[in-house]
Structure 1
Amino acid sequence: MTKEIEKLRIDKYLWAIRVFKTRSLATEACKAGKVKLSGQNIKPSYVVKVGEVYHIQKGIEKKVIRVVDLLEKRMDAKTAALYYEDQTPIEDTYGYKSAFHAPILRRDRGTGRPTKKDRREIDDLKEDFFDDDK
């Protein structure tokens, strides 16, 4: 917004807007096909253009961002948010249940290994928790 940047690599842009923690992680994501433009994988050296929409997969998290302006240097998160528009659909944003909120199954000490019946109950409980219906 201050200085006009002519050319900017996608890996550097994704690092600058804080999608990835390091530039090398952004480069690896591009090489692994985790960053897409119109369904096509793009190389880390791809030149970013204002108005383009990128689909990014980072672990189980999926993001859809539109480039508003180019940012060359990494800044604080509030400032970096001005350089892109998050267009991630709400079902993708909250579409997965976090493993941090999963029930922790514990058995009392000394009860031994679970029986076949116990194992089925544990599997049913896990299946119900991670079901998409709920």
Structure 2
Amino acid sequence: MDCWLWAVRLMKTRPDAADACRGGHVRINGRPAKASTIVVPGDEVRIRIAATTRVVEVTVTIRKRVSAAVAATCLIDRTPKPPPEALVPVARRDRGTGRPTKRERRELDRFQQQA
């Protein structure tokens, strides 16, 4: 399992993938997965990375890390889209206006505390 997560580039390193399995962040077909669990085509893998849960289906099992283009063919991403209210608009400043003043900073802080 940890080899596959690393090979298809869902995790940056193999130890990170093993830690995720040990921590209970990886499930295969609804069951917790160990790092040594073998995946087969057709398995549904749920992995919690940061604050999001990725849902992927295994199409090809690989053990060696390959290019991103080849790795994309080894899985089908079935992660649901985030709800629109989860996407918070980012405040933008006009180009060339410089850093916010102390007053503008306080207004921004008050606005962020309300949200």
Pairwise TM-score range, normalised by the shorter structure: 0.7 to 0.9
Please point out which of 73, 76, 81 is paired with 1:82: 73
Gaps in structure 2 of 5+ consecutive residues: 93-98
**In the alignment, what sits opposite 2:96?**
none
TM-score with structure 1 setting the length: 0.67
TM-score with structure 2 setting the length: 0.77
Please point out which of 85, 88, 91 is paired with 1:103: 91
Look up the SS of the partner of 1:64 in the other structure.
strand
Letter of the aligned partner of 1:103 in structure 2? A
Alignment of 1:60 with 2:48, yes or no, is no
Look up the SS of the partner of 2:53 in the other structure.
strand
Deviation at 1:96, TM superposition (A): 4.2
Deviation at 1:37, TM superposition (A): 2.0
Describe the shift of the 1:16–1:121 C-alpha distance in structure 2 as closer, same or farther (beyond 3 A): closer
**In the alignment, what sits opposite 1:16?**
7
Inter-partner Cα distance in structure 2 for 1:57 and 1:87? 14
CA RMSD of aligned residues (A): 2.9
Please point out which of 20, 28, 31 is paired with 1:29: 20
Look up the SS of the partner of 1:91 in the other structure.
coil
Residue identity over aligned pairs, in percent, reads 29
Determine if contact 2:29/2:43 at 8 Å carries over to the other structure: no
Deviation at 1:72, TM superposition (A): 1.2
Please point out which of 14, 29, 33 is paired with 1:38: 29
